[in-house]
């Protein structure tokens, strides 16, 4: 039994290594702005993973620890001011934490004062038209 768990663990780590070798992530950054975007991507992904594990871990623990078979009675949280403020304020704080560096990077993307090249786009409006009789 122990050997089976060891083999499965080694196989799992090998598959994780193969997944990391695949090009599923962003390509390597070629500029400072691209490096900032890649860092933001990684930071938000880590934050989302931590939140996912924390919320689902707490949810599963709550379901297990407060199950009916142990003798717990259901509590009523309806119209509980503290709980409603908490589940509104905590996501708001998380969004502000995410939005602060993202906004700085988006503003840096829009800044073209130090551009390497300038592209001039020239266009004209066509006056050609197709008559109704030619459209079938």
User: Residue 100: which domain range?
Assistant: 31-68+81-107
Question: What is the tens place of the pLDDT at every residue in 73-127?
Answer: 877 767 778 888 988 999 999 999 999 999 999 998 888 787 778 888 887 776 7
Q: Is the pLDDT of residue 18 over 80?
A: no
Task: Tell me the mean pLDDT in the region 56-76.
Answer: 86
CA distance 55 to 111: 38
Q: Say if 101 falls within a structural domain.
A: yes
Q: Say if 51 falls within a structural domain.
A: yes
Q: Say if 114 falls within a structural domain.
A: no
Coil vs helix vs strand at 134: helix
- Cβ–Cβ < 8 Å for 36, 108: yes
User: What pLDDT sits at residue 24?
Assistant: 65
Quote the tokens at residue 108. Answer: 């840096």
Q: Is the pLDDT of residue 40 over 80?
A: yes
Q: Say if 91 falls within a structural domain.
A: yes
pTM above 0.75, yes or no: no
Q: Say if 52 falls within a structural domain.
A: yes
CA distance 46 to 14: 22
Quote the tokens at residue 121. Answer: 């786009």
User: What pLDDT sits at residue 7?
Assistant: 84
The total number of structural domains in the chain stands at 1
Summary mean pLDDT of the chain: 83
User: What pLDDT sits at residue 21?
Assistant: 60
Please state the separation of Cα 131 from the chain's center in Å. Answer: 51
């Amino acid at each position: 039994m122990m050997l089976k768990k060891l083999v499965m663990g080694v196989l799992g780590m090998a598959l994780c290594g193969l997944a990391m070798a695949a090009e599923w992530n962003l390509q390597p950054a070629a500029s400072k702005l691209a490096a900032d975007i890649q860092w933001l991507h990684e930071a938000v992904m880590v934050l989302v993973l931590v939140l996912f594990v924390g919320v689902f871990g707490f949810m599963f623990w709550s379901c297990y620890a407060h199950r009916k078979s142990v003798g717990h009675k259901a509590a009523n949280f309806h119209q509980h001011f503290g709980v409603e403020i908490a589940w509104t304020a905590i996501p708001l704080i998380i969004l502000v934490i995410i939005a602060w560096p993202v906004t700085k990077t988006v503003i840096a993307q829009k800044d073209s004062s130090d551009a390497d090249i300038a592209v001039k786009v020239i266009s004209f409006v066509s006056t050609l038209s197709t008559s109704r009789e030619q459209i079938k």
